[in-house]
Amino acid sequence: MTASEPAHVLIDFDGVLADFDQGFLRVWRTAYPDRPWLPPAARRHFYLREDYPPAWRDAVQAVIDAPGFYRQLPVMAGAQAALAALAARGYRLTVCTSPGATLAERRAWLAEHFGPVLAQGMLACADKTQVDGDWLIDDNPAPSGARAPRWRHIVFDQPYNRHVPGLRLNWQNWAQHWPESG
C-alpha cells in the first residue's frame, strides 16, 4: 500500500456479510420440522454439515445447494453500516468468496443489499491467498492456500472459530478493533 493507494479490505460473503446460519435454519426447520436443529451459538465446526449427524449431512448439503438458498439469506446485523463506514474512510472493498454454482445468486444478493458496485467487483476464488489485499475479514478460522498471503487475517467472530487467537471483530465492535495500519 502506498500513500496514493487506498488500503484494500477483502471481505468473505457467507458468515460475514450474509447470515448463513439464520438462513439455513429458516429453510431447515421448514423442510425438516421433525428433525432437531442446532442453534448457531452451539456450532463448533467451520463447515455446517459437520455439526450435524453423518446421516443428515446429505440433507444439510441439499438445503445449502437448493436454488434460491443464497437469495433468502438475511444480512448480518450491522454489516451494511460497517461497510459504508469503511468505504467512507477511503478503504477499497472487495467481496471475496468461494466459486460455485450459486455465484450468480450471491452476486444478485450483494447487489440488492450492498449495491451494484460491490456486487460487480466480487471475486470468486478457491484460494484467497492468491488475492492481494491488506486485510481479509473471514469467518474461516484458518484460511490457507498455495502461498503466504499478503493480507492480514481478521477473524470474523463466530462460535466455531473462538479457539483461534488473534485479531477478531464483528459488525458491532469493528470500529473499536479496526487496525489502522497493515
Catalytic residue among 14, 51, 134, 157: 14
Sheet holding 92-97, edge to edge: 123-124, 92-97, 8-11, 135-138, 152-156, 168-169
Angstrom CA distances, 5 to 68, 90, 91, 92, 137, stand at 38, 10, 9, 9, 20
Catalytic residue among 12, 51, 139, 157: 12
- The yes-or-no answer on residue 12 being catalytic is yes
Reported residue count of the chain is 182
Q: Are strands 123-124 and 135-138 parallel, antiparallel or unpaired?
A: unpaired
Residues with catalytic annotation? Answer: 12, 14
